[in-house]
Amino acid sequence: MRKTIPVVSLLAALLVSAGQLSATVKPNALFSDHMVLQNGMAVPVWGTAAPGEKVSVAVAGQQAAATAGADGRWQAKLSNLKSGGPLELTITGDKTPEPLVIKDVLVGEVWVGSGQSNMEFTVSKAKAAFAGLLNEEQEIAAANFPQIRMFTVKGLKTYEPQTDVTGQWLVCSPATVPGFSAVGYLFARDLQKELNVPVGIITSAAGASCAEAWISREAMMAPKLKWMLDSLDASVAYFRQKPQGPAANAPIRPTPINKPRPAGPVTSLRDPVQDQHFPTVLFNGMINPIIPYAIKGAIWYQGESIIGGTPGLNLYGEVQKALITDWRKRWGEGNFPFYIVQLPGQQNISNNPRIREEQLAVLSLPNTGVAVTIDIGEAKNVHPHNKEPLGDRLTLLALANAYGRKIESSGPMYSSMKVVKNAIRVSFTHVGGGLVAKGGTLKGFQIAGADQKFVEAEAKLDGDSILVSSPQVASPVAVRYAWTDYPEGLGCNLYNAASLPASPFRTDKWDYPIEGIVEN
């Protein structure tokens, strides 16, 4: 005869079960199967549990403990893991029935890849219409690298900082790599081959986003930047009070320098928090939740979306430096390596030479680098498909500066100038074994006198410097190189012996109107 269970007993059992489920330890989504942990440094592991629950984290013979606070949050810290794997990481809670076992864990090098659509740009065009490498089929077929893993953070814009993300670690294979960030994959592939250790990339990028969208509220409170934050707050306040408008009375939204506002009156409102041209919204949803996951450094590809017209462009270098400083402070790892991609040439005001100049401002910060891409742009395409050289150049920056390899990591960078009779001698750093005029005669140089009128100039290699002159300028005072949106029209063929291109530069600091910029 079957024994019946009293209803009261059944309810009690269900309540106990529900209590156990609510008390289950839950780590941040980054701590999941196939993840890569950073070697050689403190490795925080964190998540949620029942308030007061004692949590233990164990991996590779090492154990760390934490107690969940009143808000249910806990963080344990491992240290100095050695490269290798696969391992299992076990998370145990004293109020959780079963330990959580995370499998196929590797230890190696972890980098964050962030920015806008050119960082999102996938290996295959099947995953994004604007994407796809030039040699897509060959790259996919060869992508059998089980020691490379990528976690792609799902896009999310929020007004308040979040604590978790959506995504999963994928093992690199021909089946998975089509959806990988192309820049992130190429960087990881080259790095893994050189270092022979596992490499993990956390891709957290969003198309058409401005840099300030990736900066925290606290950092945006800086005097030079606060006006952007005030714009967000005013727009959010209006939208929450009057979601139906009238739209004509709403605060003006930020608009990129290459996107004129629509003609005519605005007829409907959109939640400003879902506008990637406002500050903090992507930091809150896509960066704050991955801090303080232990990383070696970050790579960044952004710059086509700048708001605020000429004043905003002039501030862009400060915005970039604020972002780097903000992330470093919050990660608490010191001045970790941060390498940015300088914009390539394109026939669009979004890629004008002043932006490239502002991008170089990050070099005033320690442990930074700039990958020059002036030679791999496309005239009409903001998403150039020739990403292979870019992966190489980012890898060189990392190998030389983060991993101590004795190699040249940059193309020539303007250093100084000196007037020599009717010519100007221009000197450089990063000559890399000597300056080279790729393809023959140097092109892309212009020269001007005190009248500030630039003309095409003759440029000649002279050791580790270049002599620039023109019969039209008897008393020269300034030189510019590749100083246009799409320099391929002028030519830009200055390299060093390491086959790395020179960054566009100017020796003057003259103000000049930027034709075509949208002054929003």
- Give the pLDDT confidence of 65-76 residue by residue, as tens digits: 999 999 999 999
Range 176-187 average pLDDT: 98
Query: Contact at 8 Å (CB) between 314 and 361?
Result: no
Sequence-distant (≥ 6) Cβ neighbours of residue 460 within 8 angstroms: 442, 466, 467
User: What is the model's pLDDT at position 264?
Assistant: 73
Quote the tokens at residue 408.
Answer: 């040249």
Number of domains in the chain: 1
Element (H, E) at 12: helix 7-22
Give me the pLDDT at residue 263, please: 74
Strand 465-469 vs strand 423-429: parallel, antiparallel, or unpaired?
A: antiparallel
Domain membership of residue 312 (yes or no) is no
Domain annotation covers residue 462: yes
Q: What is the mean pLDDT of residues 315-332?
A: 98
For the cut 60, the answer to whether the pLDDT of residue 9 exceeds it is no
In this prediction, residue 63 carries a pLDDT of 98
Quote the pLDDT of residue 520.
74
**What integer is the mean pLDDT of 498-508?**
98
Mean pLDDT of the 27-48 span: 98
Residue at 435 is within a domain: yes
Q: Is residue 109 part of a domain?
A: no
86/51 Cα distance (integer angstroms): 32
What token pair was written down for 204? 């957290």
- Are 328 and 362 in contact by the 8 Å Cβ rule? The answer is no
Asked if residue 443 is part of any domain, the answer here is yes
The pLDDT tens digits for 73-115 are 999 999 999 999 999 999 999 999 999 999 999 999 999 999 9
Q: How many residues are given for the chain?
A: 520
Instruction: Give a yes or no: residue 295 inside a domain.
Output: no
Half-sphere exposure of 517 (CA within 13 A, CB side): 23
Q: Give the C-alpha separation, 351 to 106, whole Å.
A: 39
CB atoms within 10 A of CB 388: 16
Mean pLDDT of 491-516: 95
Whole-model pTM: value is 0.95
For 420, the domain range is 413-506
**Residue 491 confidence class, pLDDT cut points 50, 70, 90:** confident
Per DSSP bridges, beta strands 297-301 and 413-420 are unpaired
Residue 267 pLDDT greater than 90, yes or no? no
Cα 232 from Cα 220, distance rounded (Å): 11
Contact (Cβ atoms closer than 8 angstroms) between residue 229 and residue 141: no
Mean pLDDT of 350-357: 97
Let me know if residue 205 belongs to a domain. no
Neighbours of 206 (CB within 10 A): 23
Say if 125 falls within a structural domain.
no
Judge whether 169 and 198 are in contact, CB under 8 Å: no
CA dihedral 94, 95, 98, 103 (to 10 degrees): -70
pLDDT of residue 453: 98
pLDDT at 490: 62
